[in-house]
Structure 1
Amino acid sequence: MRDVEKTIGNFIEKRNVSFISSIDEQGFPNTKAMLPPRKMEGIKTFYFTTNTSSMRVSQYRECPNACIYFCDTRFYRGVMLRGTVEVLEDEESKKMIWKDGDTMYYPQGVTDPDYCVLKFTAKDGRYYSNFHSESFEV
C-alpha cells in the first residue's frame, strides 16, 4: 500500500457495520457487530457509543486490549486494527458523538448514566485484499 492512512481510511468510511472485540475473564476474545464509529481521527482513533451497563464495557475496564474489524463482503476485503479501548463517561466526550435520535437508546439524553463512549486507539493493523494480506503500523 502506498498511502496506508488514505487506503484504510477510505475503506472504513464506506462500511456500515463494524466488529469490535474484547477479552473476557477467561482470556477468550468476544466479538460483536456494531454500528460504524461515530467519529474517526485518521486511522488511529475511533469513537463508538454503547451502554455503560454492557458486558463489553466491564471487559474493557478489566482488559483494554481490543481489535476492530471492517469488511467488504462483496469483494472479500477486510481490515483489522489492534489496539486498546478506553471507556469515556465525561460529558464532553459524550456530547462530541451524540446524534439526534440517540434518545431511542439512551432515553435520558446525553447525560444518561447508561450512555458512554468507547475510544479505540490503534497501534497496528492488517489489510486483506486480492488474495493478499499486509501488516502496517498506525
Structure 2
Amino acid sequence: MMRDAVQTIGNLIDKQTTVLISSVDEDGFPNTKAMLAPRVRDGIKTFYLTTNTSSARVAQYRKNPKACLYFFDKRFFRGVMLKGTMEVLQDAKSKEMIWRDGDTMYYPLGVTDPDYCVLKFTAESGRYYSNFKSENFPVE
C-alpha cells in the first residue's frame, strides 16, 4: 500500500514526457490517444494540457466530460490511471497560463489562436500498478 499517494504518483508523473488520454465517443466507446505531458498540475487532482479546439477529442469532451489519464514508466513497469472529468477552457487566463515559447508551431496565431484551447482534467479516483499489484485510491 502506498504511504503517500500524492508523492508516489506525482514523482511518476513528473518523469513522463507523454500521457495517454481517453474520452468517450458518440457510440459510448473509449477513445485513447497519446499527448505531450500536462503543462501544469496541482498535486494529482488537476492537470492542464494543450490541444486544438477543432480536435475530435474536444468535441467528445464537450458532449461527455468523462475522461481518463494514464501515465506509465516502461522502465520499471508501473503506471497510474486517473479517472475524472475534462473541461475545455478557452478563456485568456487559462490559455496564457500554459502557453510556451514555440507553441506558434502548433498555433500560428499565438495565444489568442481560436484553434488553441486548454484541457483541464480533474481526477476523482485512481488506480496504481507497481510490483505486479494494483491498488485503487481516492483523489482528494
Q: Do these two structures clear the TM 0.5 threshold for a shared fold by scoring above it?
A: yes
Find the counterpart in structure 1 of residue 37 from structure 2.
36
| 1:28-62 Cα deviation digits (max 9, x unpaired) | 00000000000000000000000000000000000
List alignment gaps of at least 5 residues for structure 1. Answer: none
Alignment length, in residue pairs? 138
Instruction: Give 1:75 deviation, angstroms.
Output: 1.3
Distance in structure 1 (CA, Å) of the matches to 2:16 and 2:115: 26
Find the counterpart in structure 2 of residue 129 from structure 1.
130
Distance in structure 2 (CA, Å) of the matches to 1:55 and 1:32: 11
For 2:41, the aligned partner's letter is M
Find the counterpart in structure 2 of residue 81 from structure 1.
82
SS of the residue aligned with 1:117? strand
SS of the residue aligned with 1:75? coil
RMSD: 0.4
Find the counterpart in structure 2 of residue 112 from structure 1.
113
| 1:38-94 Cα deviation digits (max 9, x unpaired) | 000000000000000000000000000000000111111010000000000000000
Find the counterpart in structure 1 of residue 25 from structure 2.
24
Distance in structure 1 (CA, Å) of the matches to 2:118 and 2:18: 17
Instruction: Give 1:120 deviation, angstroms.
Output: 0.1
Distance in structure 1 (CA, Å) of the matches to 2:37 and 2:53: 18
SS of the residue aligned with 2:17? coil
Percent identity over the alignment?
A: 72
Distance in structure 2 (CA, Å) of the matches to 1:14 and 1:73: 11
**TM-score, structure 1 normalization:** 0.99
Distance in structure 2 (CA, Å) of the matches to 1:128 and 1:101: 35
SS of the residue aligned with 2:137? strand
Distance in structure 2 (CA, Å) of the matches to 1:74 and 1:9: 17
SS of the residue aligned with 2:71? strand
Which runs of 4 or more aligned residues in structure 1 lie more than 6 Å from their structure 2 counterparts after TM superposition? none
Distance in structure 1 (CA, Å) of the matches to 2:80 and 2:23: 17
Find the counterpart in structure 2 of residue 102 from structure 1.
103
Find the counterpart in structure 1 of residue 46 from structure 2.
45
Distance in structure 2 (CA, Å) of the matches to 1:20 and 1:127: 16
